[in-house]
C-alpha cells in the first residue's frame, strides 16, 4: 500500500506505448494512474472513453494519464478500438494502458476488489485513482468498487485543488471549483493576511467567537 505523502514506487511495466519506468515516464509532470477491473467490460469502456475525451483538460494542467488492468497489451490494443467507437474519439490514443497480467502492481498498490472475480476465480482490480505530484509523492488516492464508475469531472476538480494548495496558503471548501472562494489556512496569522491575500480576507463570525472561518478570493 502507498500512503499519502509517500514517494510512489518507481515501477517498471509494459504498456500500450512500450515499456516504461514510472518516474522517468512522469518526468516533471503531475500524473494520474487509474486502474480498471478488466478490458472489454461495460463500465470500464465508458470510463476510459471519458478519460480520452478529457485528455486536453489533463494536458492543460500538466497531468500525464496512465491506466492499468490485469490484461495483456494485446487485449488493451484491441479494446481501444471498441472504446473509440463507443466514445466517438478518433486518432492517436492519448494515454498508455499498463498490462498487469500477474497482478503484481495490483497487489503492491492494494487495488484488488475481493468481491469481483474473473471466470477463473481471480480477483479483479478495483477502480483506483492515484494522483502523483512532480516530486513523485502520492497526493491523493480514491478507491471505488468495480461496480461504480468514476466521475472524471471530480478528478479534474481535485487536481485543481491540489495544484492550487501546493503553492498557496489556502484550502478549498466543500463543493469548491476553480475560481471560487478559498479558505485561509489556520497557520496564517491575522497580521500576515495582507501579505498573502491582497484581495482581502472575510472572517465569518461564529458563536464560539473563534475567527477560524476566513475566506479569500482564489489567489493568482
Q: Catalytic residue positions?
A: 44, 135
Q: Cα separation of 140 and 32, whole Å?
A: 9
DSSP state of 40: T
Q: Cα separation of 185 and 171, whole Å?
A: 6
Neighbouring-strand partners of residue 125:
112
**Residue among 111, 98, 105 nearest 142 (CA):** 111
DSSP annotation string for 154-173: HHHHHHHHHHHHTTSSEE--
Q: Cα separation of 129 and 169, whole Å?
A: 25
Q: Cα separation of 12 and 21, whole Å?
A: 4
Amino acid at each position: 500500500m502507498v500512503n499519502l505523502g509517500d514517494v510512489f514506487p518507481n515501477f517498471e511495466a509494459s504498456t500500450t506505448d512500450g515499456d516504461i519506468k514510472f518516474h522517468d515516464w512522469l518526468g516533471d509532470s503531475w500524473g494520474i494512474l487509474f486502474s480498471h477491473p478488466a478490458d472489454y467490460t461495460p463500465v470500464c469502456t465508458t470510463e476510459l472513453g471519458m478519460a480520452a475525451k478529457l485528455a486536453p483538460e489533463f494536458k492543460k494542467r500538466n497531468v500525464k494519464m496512465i491506466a492499468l488492468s490485469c490484461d495483456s497489451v494485446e487485449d488493451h490494443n484491441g479494446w481501444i478500438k471498441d472504446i473509440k467507437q463507443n466514445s466517438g474519439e478518433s486518432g492517436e490514443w492519448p494515454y498508455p494502458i499498463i498490462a498487469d497480467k500477474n497482478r503484481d502492481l495490483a497487489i503492491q498498490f492494494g487495488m484488488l476488489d475481493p468481491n469481483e472475480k474473473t471466470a477463473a476465480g481471480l480477483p479483479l482490480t478495483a477502480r483506483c485513482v492515484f494522483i502523483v505530484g512532480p516530486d513523485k509523492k502520492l497526493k491523493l488516492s480514491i478507491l471505488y468498487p468495480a461496480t461504480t464508475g468514476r466521475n472524471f469531472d471530480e478528478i479534474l476538480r481535485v487536481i485543481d485543488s491540489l495544484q492550487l494548495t501546493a503553492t498557496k496558503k489556502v484550502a478549498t471548501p466543500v463543493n469548491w471549483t476553480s475560481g471560487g472562494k478559498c479558505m485561509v489556512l489556520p497557520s496564517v496569522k491575522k497580521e500576515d493576511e495582507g501579505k498573502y491575500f491582497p484581495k482581502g480576507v472575510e472572517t465569518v463570525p461564529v458563536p464560539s467567537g473563534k475567527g477560524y472561518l476566513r475566506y479569500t478570493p482564489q489567489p493568482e
